């Protein structure tokens, strides 16, 4: 598969984009949109979500995804970790309510367990650790594609009323705001794929700006609705501890589980980085559709987990890059004849 090796991410202790997200949250806390301004911001946010998923569809190469099917065992392993093991651990965290997590924070914690894996950072960390980069590309793409359908369905099944339930209205919102734009991007990729590829950097800024708008809208609605009094410093500390345990479990399960399944070192690295992380870019717009005014509190666990996974995976990738590589098998030309 022809794809340029991704450049390593900056080794800053905090992702600059996370700083932008924090600044957006602070802005929403100090200057929340209300009244007619809230309606205008909400309409712009809805359009931004549709644009995001349209661009996701326009970027996803169906040919590359089909080329990666030869690694179907690896992709099924990543999908099982993302959409089966993660949700099971999220459900198990129900035992932390009410002593560690409030019911609302557990809803957000469970939601983060339902969103798809990342693409860009999974590829970058796999590259740094000298893993199977093409497999990481396909695994991340498959996870994102599956998440468009599986995340809303799992949210409706596991979150009940907190996630909008299975009402006709919620399903219609999911189809109109997420699935239809994505399919439109896929259908038009033949004509706009080149434009999207040539202007990747500019459209990347559009992506990030759209997500900032979604965050501002969600947290503004939370401020107006008065949901933030539920998050005390003690509850925040409990949430961070629960997420640290979640990340440690998934990093261990993906690494050692892949070994038990017979994957080699390069594939194990791809499984670990693609199967242990969650996508902030996909989760935020989905939460805005599923949770409405409660989206701000629902995405707080995902935002914290996003930064935590970047910091921890950066350390792991750097350490894996220093691992001695296995010796290549001897060939008839290089084998040494004894005697």
Q: At what angle do helices 36-59 and 280-291 cross, to 10 degrees?
A: 140
What is the dotted CATH code of the domain comprising 16-318?
Answer: 1.20.1530.20
Whole-number pLDDT of residue 84 = 96
pLDDT of 334 over the 60 cut = no
Q: Are 125 and 276 in contact (CB under 8 A)?
A: no
Interatomic CA distance for residues 274 and 12, integer angstroms: 21
Q: Which token pair is 269?
A: 């690295």
Q: Are 316 and 129 in contact (CB under 8 A)?
A: yes
- ∠ CA 179-185-190, nearest 5°, is 145
Q: How far is CA 2 from CA 12, 198, 309, in A?
A: 29, 16, 28
114 closest CA partner among 152, 75, 163, 167: 152
Whole-number pLDDT of residue 96 = 94
- Lowest mean pLDDT across 19-23, 165-169, 211-215, 290-294: 165-169
pLDDT of 87 over the 90 cut = yes
Whole-number pLDDT of residue 18 = 74
Q: Could you please report the per-residue DSSP string of 169-225?
A: HHHHHHIIIIIHHHHHHHHHHHHHHHHHHHTHHHHHHHHHHHHHHHHHHHHHHHHHH
Cite the DSSP H helix spans in the chain.
16-30, 36-59, 62-67, 72-80, 86-92, 103-112, 120-128, 133-159, 168-174, 180-198, 200-225, 233-260, 265-275, 280-291, 295-320
Whole-number pLDDT of residue 5 = 44
Read off the pLDDT of residues 198-244 as tens digits, 9 standing for 90 and up: 888 888 888 888 878 887 887 787 777 666 666 788 899 999 999 99
Average pLDDT, the chain: 81
Place of tokens 């219609």: 172
147 closest CA partner among 284, 292, 239, 296: 284
Q: Are 106 and 93 in contact (CB under 8 A)?
A: yes
Residue 170 binned pLDDT confidence (cut-offs 50, 70, 90): low
Instruction: Give the pLDDT mean for 157-168.
Output: 62
Q: Which residues contact 96 (CB under 8 A, 6 or more apart)?
A: 106, 238, 242
Instruction: Give the pLDDT mean for 175-182.
Output: 80
Interatomic CA distance for residues 191 and 179, integer angstroms: 20
| Number of other CB atoms surrounding residue 137 within 10 Å | 26
Q: What is the CA radius of gyration of the chain?
A: 21
Interatomic CA distance for residues 185 and 10, integer angstroms: 30
Q: ω into residue 98 within 30 of 0, thus cis?
A: yes
Residue 307 binned pLDDT confidence (cut-offs 50, 70, 90): confident
């Amino acid at each position: 598969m022809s794809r340029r090796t991704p450049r390593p991410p900056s080794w800053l202790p905090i992702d600059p984009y996370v700083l932008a997200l924090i600044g957006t949250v602070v802005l929403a806390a100090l200057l929340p949109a209300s009244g007619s301004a809230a309606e205008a911001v909400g309409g712009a946010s809805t359009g931004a979500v549709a644009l995001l998923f349209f661009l996701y569809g326009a970027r996803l190469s169906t040919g590359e995804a089909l080329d990666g099917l030869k690694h179907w065992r690896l992709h099924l392993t990543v999908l099982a970790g993302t959409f089966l093991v993660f949700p099971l651990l999220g459900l198990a965290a129900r035992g932390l309510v009410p002593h560690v997590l409030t019911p609302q924070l557990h809803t957000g914690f469970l939601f983060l367990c339902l969103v798809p894996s990342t693409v860009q950072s999974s590829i970058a960390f796999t590259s740094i650790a000298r893993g199977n980069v093409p497999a990481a590309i396909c695994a991340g793409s498959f996870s994102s594609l599956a998440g468009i359908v599986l995340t809303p369905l799992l949210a409706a099944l596991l979150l009940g009323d907190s996630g909008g339930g299975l009402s006709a209205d919620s399903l219609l919102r999911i189809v109109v705001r997420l699935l239809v734009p994505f399919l439109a991007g896929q259908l038009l990729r033949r004509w706009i794929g080149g434009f999207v590829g040539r202007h990747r950097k500019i459209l990347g800024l559009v992506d990030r700006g759209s997500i900032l708008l979604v965050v501002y809208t969600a947290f503004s609605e939370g401020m107006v609705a008065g949901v933030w009094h539920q998050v005390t410093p003690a509850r925040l500390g409990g949430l961070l501890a629960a997420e640290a345990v979640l990340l440690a479990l998934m990093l261990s399960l993906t690494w050692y589980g892949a070994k038990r399944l017979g994957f080699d070192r390069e594939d194990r690295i791809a499984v670990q980085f693609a199967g242990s992380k969650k996508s902030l870019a996909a989760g935020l717009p989905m939460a805005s559709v599923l949770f409405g005014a409660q989206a701000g509190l629902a995405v707080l666990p995902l935002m914290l987990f996003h930064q935590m996974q970047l910091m921890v995976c950066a350390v792991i990738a750097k350490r894996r890059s220093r691992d001695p590589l296995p010796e290549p098998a001897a060939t008839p030309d290089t084998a040494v004849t004894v005697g």
